[in-house]
Amino acid sequence: MSKSPLPSKRVILLNKPFQVLSQFSPHEGKTTLAEFIEQPGIYPAGRLDFDSEGLLLLTGDGQLQHRLTDPRHKLPKTYWAQVEGEVSQQALQRLQTGVVLKDGKTKPARAVAIPEPHRLWQRNPPIRYRANIPTTWIELTITEGRNRQVRRMTAAVGYPTLRLIRCAIGPWSIGNLQPGEHREDTVPHDLLQSSGSKTARTSPRRGRYYQRSRAR
């Protein structure tokens, strides 16, 4: 039995597993979102890299999709990054004030060292540890959406990212979702108002933007 279309005032929250493309169409034998969601007429609102994990929003409302992905609205995104080495306060301060990348200086961000997240799941396959080098977890919140931005930011301050998980987007958090699990949620009123603007699209974008997983 086919599922009904997703109501326009709701979104799907998916915990995208590691090495899954943020698209529904088949692509060179790689795992896609079609393995986890059968809802018709929905598309990702944003992107998440093939080798990153965590929260991905999906909607069938083109205006809402535009609102969630338009960088002018600065919807914050929060990540857990496991990096190589013991992160210094100086490095955290650089992340907070902005670091210079090849495409310019990043905007101010929230960056703090945290313990390993308590609800963290095992990644398959796991990261490659080096016994003589410790790792640190950083919680990083950004308002930009540059290509692989978080990984480039941590590398720029001397701490390569080993594992990257997006745990929140705006008002939505990953909660207790396990990899591959999803749930529906409501859209806050302020986002619904913004998504009704005349400049917003009326149907979800389906072009190459979602045919490749280019995210952080």
Q: Residue 199 corresponds to which amino acid?
A: T
Residue 81's H or E segment, with its range, is strand 77-84
Whether 127 and 84 have beta carbons less than 8 Å apart is answered as no
Phi and psi (nearest 5°) for 114? -135, 160
- Given a contact cutoff of 8 angstroms between Cβ atoms, the answer to whether 20 and 35 are in contact is yes
Residues 166, 51: contact at Cβ < 8 Å? no
Closest to 108 measured CA to CA, from 138, 142, 146, 137:
142
Helices (H), the chain: 62-69, 89-97, 149-156, 189-195
Handedness of CA 28, 80, 143, 90 (dihedral sign): negative
Measured N-to-C along each axis, helices 89-97 and 149-156 cross at an angle, to the nearest 10 degrees, of: 130
Q: What is d(CA 71, CA 49) in angstroms, rounded to the nearest whole number?
A: 18
Question: Looking at the annotation, which residues are catalytic?
Answer: 49
Q: What is the sign, positive or negative, of the torsion defined by CA atoms of 58, 173, 7, 189?
A: negative
Q: Is 56 helix (H, G, I), strand (E, B) or coil?
A: strand
